[in-house]
Structure 1
Amino acid sequence: MTSWLGSLRVRFMLLVLVSLLPALGLLVYVADGQRDQAVEDAQEDARRLAVLAAADQERLLDSTRQLLVALAALPEVRGGDPGVCSALLATLRSEVPLYANLGVIELDGDIACSAVPPPGPTNLADRIYFQRAVETRDFAVGEYQIGRVTGLPTLNCGYPVTDEVGQIVAVVYAALDLIWLNEFAAEAGLPEGSVLTVVDRTGTVLVHHPDPAEASWIGRSLAGTPVVETILTQGAGTAEAPGEDGRSYLYAFERLAGGAAGSAYVSVAIPREVAVAPAERAFSDSLTRLGLVATLVLVAAWVGADLLVRRDLDANKALVRRLYDAFETGGVDPLDEVVASDFVDHDPLPGQTPGLVGMKQAVGMFRAAFPDGRLAVEELIAEGDKVVARVRLQGTQAGAFTGADPSRRAMTAEGVETYRVAGGKIAEGWSRLGPLVPMDGVTESEPDAEPVRQGQGG
């Protein structure tokens, strides 16, 4: 592990990766902020739609009031002829499709006439809008309900019909079809997967957009679900909660206009994943770009590190070559730039002193023993801070060298020397040279030559 981390290339790559961490952290931080902002924006958009739906409901109730006041004054409504009255209301309903039904209720609660023919004898005396219209002698708004005549979710409103002396003789009513909220949702351009729902004060679904025919939501009770309990408790606001399909939704809800007993609530739900999708795409794109940049930087770092390593290795080789140049020329002054002052020679020549001074001394010993000698570098291998040299000593031995008397002959020896470079200078050295042998291959009749163990001087 130490040698792996000691590699210049690896350290350089790690440095590049570490330098990219702040950018990645900033990217994640910004993405989190964008997601939070996307959630906030989605809830605000849903809130605006819910408020707008409630405002449209108020507008429709004002229009309904005007309609009922006008109908209450018509002789067809006050005249008591059910056929004429029903025909008039049916014609009017066909021209104003916002209403599921228009009708007149007698004081005992029975239907006197209706635009939509009732399925049979129908009594509406228990309806809030009817009771309040009679009690207040004014426009009254009832409950959100499923109509007994139409079978549709409606908000019914009533207005008293009086005779010539001001006595209430009936109540004219209009059933506002909540289907308009489906049209509102379709035209609002809600994000994909969004849902508009209207629930009454008991949590029963009155409107659900979209509402698939094969699994209609109308009339289904959502009482007890977390989001509906929040809606019924708070009346207006925003929330995040799981939907019936298990997905997380961002909700905004508002109370719809109506009587105290007829409260209903409209909610707009946007899937959280849809709301944050643009932020997720932006994060993914940014992450991809950062990945590409990181890849390019890492490739450049790898190549750059390789170049740096090669440059350093070549520089280390050059130091060793300069060392051998000193042995060949005898010039020791350049060694001040090549060898560290505290150089450690692990295989010194006999009598060689430590450090740079000792290396210069070794050069002198070598030149004295081999005036024409040279240490030919046959191969240099550099790795990390080490340089290994395969060398060949050649020269005429004119003086004693490592205990061997002068042979006056051309001698040669092969060896391997290793150097460690630190701080741009040679700091340590190890040497293993073979025995000196005549270059002409003729060996005198004498004991075998001993190996030359001391190496920096050959």
Structure 2
Amino acid sequence: MFLTGFRNLIVLLVLAAVLPLGAAWLHMAASEKTRTEASSMDWISNAVLLRRDDFKHAIEGASQFAMTMAMVGDHERYFRDPSCSKKLADLKAAFPAYANFTFIEANGDITCSATPLPGKANIADIISFRLALVSAAPQIGPPEQGPVAKSKMIIPVAIGLKNAEGKSTGVFAASVDLSAYLAESTATAQPMNIVYTFWSDEGVILARSPDIEGLAGKSQADAPIFQMMNQGALRSGTARLAGPDGVEKIYAFTRFEDQAARFWITAGVPAAELLGPSQRSYQIALTLFSLALLAGVGTAWIFSETAILKPLRRLHDLASSFAQGERLARVGKNRRRHGNSRHRHRL
């Protein structure tokens, strides 16, 4: 019993030496993992806020462009000229982020368009057009399907035109193509596999880049990230949720609002890509600590058994033999020889 307790004491001493060092190592690995996760959240939050601010600048640019076109001298003759559509088409070619440039008569008929008209088009029911007729400032409309380029989701920016007498003569509109904007603004190499998405308040994906799954224009109202944005009170934040493709992602989201243009912007990165390195480092540290602990305990057990306890047992047996009158008892290599001498002595 005493020897077993002695062995356990040695094992406990080894544990007392290994555990604090291992715990400190694991604590450092866990702290590094936590710092990496926090910095990753900050990084993706900044990414989505930068995208929101950049789009705001794009809308401001469209407003400035509309005001410039409104200052064209004798714009009635310019926009009603038969070559107007060609001039606007040449202008649009220099600005790929725009879906269309149009001149709309006061009754809503489009008479000049950078994008060829499929037929007669009237947009008298569009809110940005109606507001532009009665306002001197550019009017930003809500996200909508283009009235001419119907395959595109746009943000219209319209400004009312007046003649020298101050009479309204129509409206000039510059439509920002959401998909083209995202494609152009993310054309440079992006860090990691980050995906930017514009969401309508109804859960329709207005634009997405890159859009490998072809989700632009489709409803994803049941997506976890949209459910969280739509039902929560936060206007910006982060979340760790499954994406439309089923892969767990780290999301950052924010709200864009400028007049009637209101929608959500998200940036998503696969969680394994963003947090994988720190998680792997922590798992490696945990595995190495477990192996070191097992090796230390195993070594202590074997060492105490072979180098300490086994000789002590022999000494214990020798002492017992002496106590019983066995004066010739021995331990070690001479034990067998002295044992034979003892038998001869008895004979």
C-alpha separation in 1, matches of 2:28 and 2:184: 38
3-state secondary structure, aligned to 2:119: coil
C-alpha separation in 1, matches of 2:187 and 2:285: 34
Residue 138 of structure 1 corresponds to 137
Residue 197 of structure 2 corresponds to 197
Residue type of the partner of 1:60?
Answer: A
C-alpha separation in 2, matches of 1:390 and 1:235: 91
Residue 337 of structure 1 corresponds to none
Q: Deviations over 1:235-269 (max 9, x none)?
A: 3222333322333332221222432x330111112
Which one is further off, 218-227 or 307-316? 307-316
C-alpha separation in 1, matches of 2:222 and 2:134: 35
Does 1:45 find its partner at 2:43?
A: yes
Residue type of the partner of 2:217?
Answer: G
- Contact 1:195–1:269 (Cα < 8 Å) also in 2: yes
Residue 116 of structure 2 corresponds to 117
Residue 98 of structure 2 corresponds to 99
Residue 449 of structure 1 corresponds to none
**Identity over aligned pairs, percent:** 24
- Contact 2:106–2:170 (Cα < 8 Å) also in 1: yes
3-state secondary structure, aligned to 2:148: coil
- Contact 1:198–1:266 (Cα < 8 Å) also in 2: yes
3-state secondary structure, aligned to 2:130: helix
- Contact 2:224–2:243 (Cα < 8 Å) also in 1: no
Normalised by the length of structure 1, the TM-score is: 0.64
C-alpha separation in 1, matches of 2:183 and 2:21: 46
- Contact 1:227–1:241 (Cα < 8 Å) also in 2: yes
Q: Deviations over 1:86-106 (max 9, x none)?
A: 111111111122212111111
- In the alignment of these two chains, the number of paired residues is 338
Does 1:221 find its partner at 2:219?
A: yes
Q: How far apart are 1:320 and its partner, in Å?
A: 7.5
Cα 1:25–1:144, aligned 2, differ >3 Å: closer, same or farther? same
Cα 1:46–1:76, aligned 2, differ >3 Å: closer, same or farther? farther
Residue 210 of structure 1 corresponds to 210
C-alpha separation in 2, matches of 1:7 and 1:220: 71
Residue type of the partner of 2:113?
Answer: S
Q: How far apart are 1:302 and its partner, in Å?
A: 5.0
C-alpha separation in 2, matches of 1:182 and 1:26: 47
C-alpha separation in 1, matches of 2:75 and 2:83: 8
Q: Specify which structure has the higher proportion of strand.
A: 1
C-alpha separation in 2, matches of 1:90 and 1:257: 29
Higher relative contact order (CA 8 A, sep 6+): 2
- Contact 1:376–1:391 (Cα < 8 Å) also in 2: no
Residue 254 of structure 1 corresponds to 254
Normalised by the length of structure 2, the TM-score is: 0.82
- Contact 1:141–1:158 (Cα < 8 Å) also in 2: yes
C-alpha separation in 2, matches of 1:22 and 1:83: 85
Cα 1:199–1:116, aligned 2, differ >3 Å: closer, same or farther? same
- Contact 2:314–2:331 (Cα < 8 Å) also in 1: no
C-alpha separation in 1, matches of 2:297 and 2:64: 75
3-state secondary structure, aligned to 1:276: helix
Alignment of 1:59-458 (within 5 A): 59-75=57-73, 77-79=75-77, 80-150=79-149, 151-178=151-178, 179-187=180-188, 189-192=190-193, 194-212=194-212, 215-232=213-230, 233=232, 234-259=234-259, 261-291=260-290, 293-294=292-293, 297-298=296-297, 300-301=299-300, 304-305=303-304, 306-313=306-313, 316=316, 323=322, 376-377=328-329, 380=331, 390=339, 392-393=341-342, 412-413=345-346, 437=347
C-alpha separation in 2, matches of 1:157 and 1:73: 16
Q: Deviations over 1:300-324 (max 9, x none)?
A: 5356423233553565577689x5x
Q: How far apart are 1:391 and its partner, in Å?
A: 5.9
Cα 1:184–1:81, aligned 2, differ >3 Å: closer, same or farther? closer
- Contact 1:238–1:251 (Cα < 8 Å) also in 2: yes
C-alpha separation in 2, matches of 1:317 and 1:131: 108
C-alpha separation in 2, matches of 1:228 and 1:271: 17
- Contact 1:54–1:257 (Cα < 8 Å) also in 2: no
**Which is greater in Rg?**
1
C-alpha separation in 1, matches of 2:81 and 2:37: 55
Residue type of the partner of 1:140?
Answer: Q
3-state secondary structure, aligned to 1:138: coil
Q: Deviations over 1:144-202 (max 9, x none)?
A: 1221322212211001111121111111111112222234345472433x321101222
Q: Specify which structure has the higher proportion of helix.
A: 2
3-state secondary structure, aligned to 1:54: helix
Residue type of the partner of 2:265?
Answer: V
- Contact 2:97–2:184 (Cα < 8 Å) also in 1: no
Residue type of the partner of 2:269?
Answer: I
Q: How far apart are 1:285 and its partner, in Å?
A: 3.1
Cα 1:272–1:27, aligned 2, differ >3 Å: closer, same or farther? farther
